[in-house]
Amino acid sequence: MPQRQIVLATGNPGKLREMAQVLKPLGVSVVGINEIADIAEPEETGETFAENARQKALYYAKATGQWCLADDSGLQVDALDGAPGVHSARYSSDITPAGADRQTTDRANNAKLLGALENVPDELRTARFVCHVALAGGEDILLETSGTFEGVIAHTPAGENGFGYDPLFYVPAHGCTAAELPAEDKNRISHRGQAVRSFAELLTELLNSEA
């Protein structure tokens, strides 16, 4: 298996940790974009997770001259007609100070979501995490996969693991929130874990074809 470095197009340490854990067995070196260069983030103009993932992957592949892996993921809440969707990371931008750190933003996003669902009964609080992963080299998308993770939005946050909306994302099959799951369990069933494992299978085939 040839050794290759893949740049992960994110500054989110949680995403880097989760993806690196799945891809490490392939013998591929995974590094965050911040370790390569100080590159301005691209504007995300896509209307779907797939469009945004492709945009980011191509942008950073061109900027770095390396294979770049990007994901776009977020939360779709049925009672909110699929919101926050592609705006998940910046859902609370209207009430969060500019330049706020990730923890502050996460807390604000969760608070806004709870407010939006304040009068919604349990049976209508169904939701899912969606992740689309794309790998770009040069001006081409080389591989892409998707994954989904079904759950229910809890009334109060619980758990210290994970990030983003994980403390509010209750997983009925496990009787806890995503933030209460051990990392290995979350990676096994999560939207990102599913997408990255599928990606790993395709990447293995691609690397073998280059050998």
CATH code of residue 16? 3.90.950.10
Query: Helix and strand tally (H, E) in the chain?
Result: 5, 7
Could you identify the residue written with the tokens 């994980």? 166
* Six-digit token string for 76: 């779709």
Catalytic annotation present for 71? no
Give the C-alpha separation, 42 to 59, whole Å: 7
Residue 179 is part of which domain span? 5-210
CB 109 within 8 A of CB 164: yes
Residue 30 and residue 23 in contact, taking contact as beta carbons nearer than 8 Å: yes
Which H helix or E strand runs over 112?
helix 102-116
Rounded to whole angstroms, how far apart are CA atoms 78 and 67? 35
With 70 as the cut, is the pLDDT of residue 94 above it? yes
Residue 1: which pLDDT band, with cuts at 50, 70 and 90?
very low
Kindly list the distances between the CA atom of residue 72 and the CA atoms of 132, 170, 180, in Å, as whole numbers in the listed order.
Answer: 6, 21, 23
Element (H, E) at 20: helix 13-23
Which pLDDT value is given to residue 211?
63
Catalytic residue from among 38, 71, 72, 140: 72
Beta bridge partners of 74: 130
100 burial class (0-12, 13-18, 19+ CB within 10 angstroms)?
A: middle
Euclidean distance between CA atoms 132 and 149, whole angstroms: 12
Locate 202 and state its tokens. 């395709």
pLDDT digits (tens, 9 = 90+) for 28-81: 888 888 888 788 888 888 899 999 999 999 999 999 999 999 999 999 999 999
Decide if 149 contacts 189 (C-beta within 8 A): yes
Q: Is 180 exposed, middle or buried (0-12, 13-18, 19+ CB in 10 A)?
A: buried
Q: How confident is the model at residue 3 (pLDDT cuts 50, 70, 90)?
A: low
Structurally, the chain folds into a number of domains equal to 1
CB 37 within 8 A of CB 64: yes
Return the residue matching tokens 């740049």.
Answer: 7
Over residues 146-173, mean pLDDT: 94
Instruction: Give the tens place of pLDDT for each residue, 124-151.
Output: 999 999 999 999 998 999 999 999 999 9
